[in-house]
Structure 1
């Protein structure tokens, strides 16, 4: 990089304009090449390995040029790392562990080296409830929030600079219920900080509520009661995953039991309902819609939602940039069974799907103009993949 910068400086002072221009273009080419090489993308895969002696976390290098993947490492001696997230710094990976283990549940941290693509275990703590299914890091990098599904609770953990997870300072259980057999108790299915990181949103599948806490990162007990503690959803809907628009004041929730996507206007912890639109295409009383995951393209133009069970599709919506509402434009079969989770890469060019029941991860190319997807032919065979995360590293 230094050589290229020096070459540009030399070009600036040369007397020959033609020679200068040739060298300048050469410099730009060199800089572009170095930049492309310096930016490294990694795919982190969590899974239900069911056995600590088997690999549970897989780490691949992702090529944003053609969507190909190269395995770098894997981690065993960790049980059911069903959901994971790389830290904002990129130096650590946090994971929900012991998912679906009766009477247990934990959160674990790993150190990650982007030079060699390897991760090593750092620490683990009880998650504060059974079956942790989702976790997220606060932008202060001092706190980790966790959603415990079976335990119906949320917990927050202090984080050290070295990635060590401290003992939970707050564990808050919920005891509500709703209409269906799967809603006899609270089931917190995700935890998402708002864009300002001032509030934590918690979709409760069991209670048909999107719960909300104010978050004070300077306090030892950061979860605090807000003015509006929850937003009720349609009875029997089962809110599951939740996301915010990257640029506009709107939020979106996929409902597992109804197979619908709800659209909200968002402001300072308050959600106001704007729209409710189907993710499913089949409509019968005996169908399990199993809405799963939801993400928005980096440019904020399209929303994607996955449904499992009878359909196994990614549903594509166009987002109205003035109103935040959705128009369903297409669906894409996921080339597998049970698309529990998916991710859009940081460039916005690819969408990768984790098909849990068919044991495969499929790479789709995304048309950034139309939002449509097409298979690239790139696919991984991974036992019971349950979570995908991609992070870019500047090397």
Structure 2
């Protein structure tokens, strides 16, 4: 039986961290009562070393650690609207991207894997969009070698800080002005990364060129000829790195791309996501799950023989769904 956890927004009726289960015998998905009173958990990561889950509370501006039974072990201040987390490879540090204030916070983890008071540094600058890019908006963080990378939607940049602590960042990629980069995913075997840009609804292939990233291709995440009022959303690479998926919020679809032997994407098509504003997606062996920020609920889209999402989504009632992670 497949089990998944759903983070939810309290203002949209979310009860906390909600388990989903899929019974392969009946093919049915079902939601259970929340296993943790974890409000506004719009992102989280799991620790293999300690067995904890680290979840943001986007509304309160905090990050908390929970055990497997859903008990809160520790909570620390992060910044305004934390929306993404990353663990270092040795699981000694935890980083958070704080969207509203455009900052990154780095938390040391103690011997029990619990976060302690962190150091915060703010990005600087703005972009072309006066409403969405009036200042920096950190939307993704990730450890990469000696760097802590930050994707900043507000300044159209990917920045690198020393992973040991705050310092003057360097720009490793300058995105097209006004494109609003949102989330980044690295290829598991090749020196490539894939960037989804929210305001432009694009997928950018980035080559790792020493200390910087260089654009190799930029593709639309929308169908050809469609000029929808839409925003790029989530990005995920399948296990095996054969397929890449991106959500479109507004067009409310999943765009799938085949990755060739050199990691270059080829558009395969689009399927409806099953709701309004698909914020997060999680590829599983037989399904792709999608959490809908505005419409609420989780959609389960069956995968065909080639791995692509196919057919009509099956809706699962989870109010306030915002984030998905395997249990």
SS at match of 1:263: strand
**Aligned partners of 2:194 and 2:206: how far apart in 1?**
6
Q: Structure 2: state its 5+ residue gaps.
A: none
Which residue is equivalent to 1:266? 208
SS at match of 1:374: coil
TM-score normalised by L of structure 1? 0.76
Q: Is 1:214 matched up with 2:165?
A: no
Q: Is 1:249 matched up with 2:198?
A: no
Structure 1 or 2, whichever has the larger Rg, is 1
**Aligned partners of 1:231 and 1:339: how far apart in 2?**
26
What do residues 64-86 of structure 1 show as CA deviations (whole Å, max 9, x unaligned)? 78764454551564432221222
Which residue is equivalent to 1:343? 282
Which residue is equivalent to 1:28? none
Q: Is 1:362 matched up with 2:299?
A: yes
TM-score normalised by L of structure 2? 0.91
Question: Which among 122, 125, 128 is matched to residue 173 of structure 1?
Answer: 122
- Work out whether residues 54 and 77 of structure 1, in 8 Å CA contact, stay in contact via their aligned partners in 2: no
Q: Is 1:390 matched up with 2:326?
A: yes
How much is the aligned-residue C-alpha RMSD, in angstroms? 2.4
**Aligned partners of 1:389 and 1:185: how far apart in 2?**
30
Superposed, 1:367-382 pairs within 5 Å as 367=304, 369=306, 371-375=307-311, 378-382=314-318
Which residue is equivalent to 2:92? 142
- Work out whether residues 135 and 145 of structure 1, in 8 Å CA contact, stay in contact via their aligned partners in 2: yes
Question: Which among 134, 138, 158 is matched to residue 108 of structure 2?
Answer: 158
- Work out whether residues 92 and 111 of structure 1, in 8 Å CA contact, stay in contact via their aligned partners in 2: yes
- Work out whether residues 14 and 320 of structure 2, in 8 Å CA contact, stay in contact via their aligned partners in 1: no
- Work out whether residues 64 and 349 of structure 1, in 8 Å CA contact, stay in contact via their aligned partners in 2: no
- Work out whether residues 264 and 271 of structure 1, in 8 Å CA contact, stay in contact via their aligned partners in 2: yes
Q: Is 1:92 matched up with 2:52?
A: yes
| Structure richer in helix, relative to its length | 1
**Aligned partners of 1:267 and 1:90: how far apart in 2?**
34
Superposed, 1:193-204 pairs within 5 Å as 193-194=143-144, 197-204=145-152
Question: Which among 217, 220, 240 is matched to residue 299 of structure 1?
Answer: 240
- Work out whether residues 178 and 208 of structure 1, in 8 Å CA contact, stay in contact via their aligned partners in 2: yes
Q: Structure 1: state its 5+ residue gaps.
A: 1-39, 113-117
- Work out whether residues 233 and 239 of structure 1, in 8 Å CA contact, stay in contact via their aligned partners in 2: yes
- How many residues matched? 325
Q: 1:308 to 1:43 in 2, by over 3 A?
A: same
**Aligned partners of 1:270 and 1:67: how far apart in 2?**
46
Superposed, 1:99-138 pairs within 5 Å as 99=58, 101=59, 104-112=60-68, 118-127=69-78, 129-138=79-88
